[in-house]
Amino acid sequence: MNPIYTDKFSGMNNADSNSALSLSMKQLSVKDAAGGVRMIHNMDVQPSGDLTKREGFTVWQSLIGAHSLFSTGLEFFCVRQGTTTPERLCKIDLSKTITHICDIVGAGDPMFYVQIGTRLFMSSKNWNGVYENGAVRAWGAEYSDDPADYAGAESSEELMLMGDTKAPCMENLTHVGARIFGTVGNKVYYNDPPLAYEMFRKDTFHEFAEPITMIAVAPDGLYFHSTKTSWYAAGYDPENFKFTVVGDGSIPGTLQYLAEFKNTTNVPVWLGDDGVEVGLGGEITSLTQDIIKIDHTEARAASVYTKDKRYLSSMVAPPDAAINDAVTCEVIRNGKLIS
């Protein structure tokens, strides 16, 4: 899945309670019992103490129930609420025109994408297809397993179809080493032979002890994550994989790729128990160890990597999350606008 880049994110800028504040700030801020400012929402605090409205974002296009956004560079794809079915696949071009591509099976299932040339391979755990030339078609086709059906085959290409099956409905699609990898529960499937992205076989998968929720491509191999365990396999040839346990899992949906890490480009980064973690050289490095701890047993998140090289991720807070500051609670948990 390609990363979604953003131009700018300046975060929340809180006032220093010890600084001199102007009258305008005191009028527009939430004050505690001692008269100090506790929170400034959607404002930048200048050194003089004056407030300026922070540059915000404008709704580009409104869609009901939209999720699983993917950009090809020229257009966007996403899943939205359907009419005759729970959900549908849509395309949005740069002129903001929305095109209904097709109805899909499932409701709320994350969609994963791999773009190869003019084809866009798409799959969720209950549906898959290939977008090409303005329409979606089936990903692969059913072929007979009966050798008698190929008795008159005149080429090796025809014989290769024996034992072939349609692509399974996979999650966590990844394209590397002339193959598409995807997960179905605790199995990781891949097309066979290489470059034949429409061909899958019933025995071309690796099985793990736990459901796989993330596949991260490193410059030297692949990291396979469940929510509890991380494995590493050197290289990109699945027939030669040797799996080594290297970590304690990751939070689904947090995978992005750093522009550079230790003089290496396109290095995978994700969230785990120790916060932000990077995979390189068959090892996992925590960038926030002893600073951030996350209980991610049931968590799912979303992430972006910004053009100014910031990694940002967010997840739904558990219902029993404790926020002791009443003002912060109103802003963060309840979405209250404070000005």
d(CA 171, CA 180): 11
Residue among 3, 73, 5, 71 at smallest CA distance from 306: 5
Tens digits of residue pLDDT in 43-99: 777 777 677 777 767 788 888 889 999 999 899 999 999 888 899 999 999 999 999
pLDDT of residue 327: 59
Report helix, strand or coil for 24: helix
Whether 36 has a pLDDT exceeding 60, the answer reads no
Task: Kindly state the average pLDDT of the residues 234-252.
Answer: 96
d(CA 77, CA 127): 15
Task: Kindly state the average pLDDT of the residues 292-298.
Answer: 66
- Say what the pTM is: 0.77
123, 170 in Cβ contact below 8 A? yes
Give residue 27's pLDDT band: very low, low, confident or very high (50, 70, 90): very low
Q: Which residue has the tokens 């005149």?
A: 154
CB atoms within 10 A of CB 8: 10
| CA distance readout (Å), 7 to 57, 92, 237, 311 | 11, 20, 36, 12
Give residue 18's pLDDT band: very low, low, confident or very high (50, 70, 90): very low
- Does the N-terminal peptide bond of residue 3 adopt cis geometry, omega within 30 degrees of 0? no
Tens digits of residue pLDDT in 191-240: 988 998 988 888 899 999 999 999 999 999 999 999 999 999 999 999 99
Pairing of strands 98-104, 112-116: unpaired
d(CA 168, CA 186): 13
pLDDT of residue 302: 85
Whether 28 has a pLDDT exceeding 60, the answer reads no
CATH number for region 64-144+160-333? 2.130.10.10
Residue among 167, 170, 225 at smallest CA distance from 196: 167
Tens digits of residue pLDDT in 122-172: 999 999 999 998 999 999 855 554 455 555 555 555 555 555 678 999 999
Mean pLDDT over each residue of the chain, to the nearest integer: 81
Q: Which residues contact 11 (CB under 8 A, 6 or more apart)?
A: none
Tens digits of residue pLDDT in 76-89: 999 999 888 899 99
- So where are the chain's domains? 64-144+160-333
Poorest-pLDDT segment among 146-155, 281-290, 294-303 = 146-155
d(CA 95, CA 329): 39
d(CA 80, CA 88): 6
Residue among 243, 239, 248, 232 at smallest CA distance from 294: 248
Q: Between 7 and 195, whose confidence is greater?
A: 195
